[in-house]
Structure 1
């Protein structure tokens, strides 16, 4: 099935995206405390991606809530991991997906970023994000008032890639937490908050061509195949073997039996 990206529909081929100025991006990868193995894999991939960026800057952190059962052993393991890599952020609320983690994530970013980023992103630990393709597709877009991702019926951007310009993040951070506005499917609640508070200035841009779900996921979320060289995200990668086949296609330089023998 033919599919044109947002920019292609505007008459801008992929190779022309290099003509726009580079961008600075922060990515928060939502995870939970005990997923050590998948964080290690994603961390390795993303560090390699950062080193291979041309002009653009992409930083990432893993975003956790406080584990409901925060045993001394788990606390020690997380402490060792963060002392080693320095990329874990534990928000000041109990771990959850749909009961306020979204608000506290955006609020933390606003306090952390100090306006050094153009865009802030939320994604998941079952999603492969192609850093360079993401940056290139963001380069021509507005640096203010932006809400970008794969849109659901003009309501919200799906949670595998929720992109806000940094000014929108500060808008959320300066508001007080309202349980009725943030309790529910986190991506839907973000879209609803923006609709209710900043809709008059919001620039909504949907990318429905370069954001995919892994087609091996046999459920209603499965969409078109993902073997596009220009893709931005592949979501619902649930197994290490599935990650390997994605990496074989998109980051072939690092593929080796030795790399995956660690996982």
Structure 2
């Protein structure tokens, strides 16, 4: 899971680390990396170094920080070189790679439940935005998954390398369309996943929309109040224990 973030976004990373640590156990290995481009500020270099020393979950790419200027390409294309062919140089290191943002939270059990039944080849999974107005179908940038073979293809494709600028989620859809890849399209908006016709990966819901019980992810949680409301709905603090040392 690659979470695209910025050097100075220490608090969002801290929040996500806490939430990930408190997730129920799952029968899958989920490795999380916070993905940054080159750091230019001395304060960020020092403070991010502390994060690396403590958590070892930072990936710094050789690129200039950007949102739609090729960072997503830099992320995907770097992975085969960073992780090689898996243990002892054989096999593949991961079945899937996810790109997401630091204002999105995932419910790991529901994520694993969805991905467990997916094909391990040519997979393009996420919140599907249908093709329209000359754009291909694509998965919304809140969080989408590619199978490892597609990541290897991205890293080796000259066509992809020459088309990296633009809205990052639509650009990925264009790569797959133009390369004839990603034929196993799996949408979290599929009827068998939806709850009472409502998507299970979605932006923070303003009325009349609401959270749904079998949610996989919620996006646009930059504000403390929105994040706290989301966590209350999913009862994330259920394990909180009373003590004479504090009261809430």
TM normalised by structure 1 equals 0.78
Cα distance, 1:111 vs structure 2:
2.6
1:80/1:223 Cα in 2 relative to 1: closer, same or farther (>3 Å)? farther
Tell me the number of residue pairs that the alignment of Structure 1 and Structure 2 aligns.
Answer: 222
Q: Name the counterpart of 1:244.
A: 228
* Aligned partner (choices 194, 198, 202) of residue 212 of structure 1: 202
Partner of residue 188, structure 1: 170
> Relative to 1, partners in 2 of residues 1:101 and 1:207: Cα closer, same or farther, differing over 3 Å?
same
Structure 1 residues 245 and 255 mapped into 2: Cα distance closer, same or farther (>3 Å)?
farther
Report if aligned partners of 1:130, 1:231 keep a CA contact under 8 Å in 2. Answer: yes
Give the gaps of 5 or more residues in structure 2. Answer: 87-91, 132-136, 190-198
TM-score calculated relative to the size of structure 2: 0.82
Indicate whether 1:88 and 2:58 are aligned. Answer: yes
In 2: Cα distance, 1:245 partner to 1:57 partner: 28
1:59 to 9, 19, 31: 31
Q: After the TM superposition, which residues 52-131 of structure 1 pair with which residues of structure 2 at under 5 Å, given as runs? A: 52-67=24-39, 70-113=40-83, 114=86, 115-131=92-108
For 2:180 and 2:81, locate their aligned partners in 1 and report how far apart those are by CA, in whole Å. 20
Q: SS at the partner of 1:46? A: helix
Per-residue deviation at 1:171? 0.7
Q: Which residue of 2 aligns with 1:203?
A: 184
Distance 2:226 2:129 in 1: 26
Work out the CA distance in 1 between the residues paired with 2:79 and 2:238.
32
Q: In structure 2, what is the Cα distance between the partners aligned to 1:37 and 1:233? A: 19
- Distance in 2 (alpha carbons) for counterparts of 1:136 and 1:142: 13
Give me the CA root mean square deviation.
2.3
Cα distance between partner residues in 2 of 1:100 and 1:177: 14
Counterpart CA distance in 1 for 2:172 and 2:22 is: 31
Partner of 1:24: none
Retained in 2: the 8 A contact 1:212–1:233?
yes
Q: Which moved more, 1:150-159 or 1:108-117?
A: 108-117
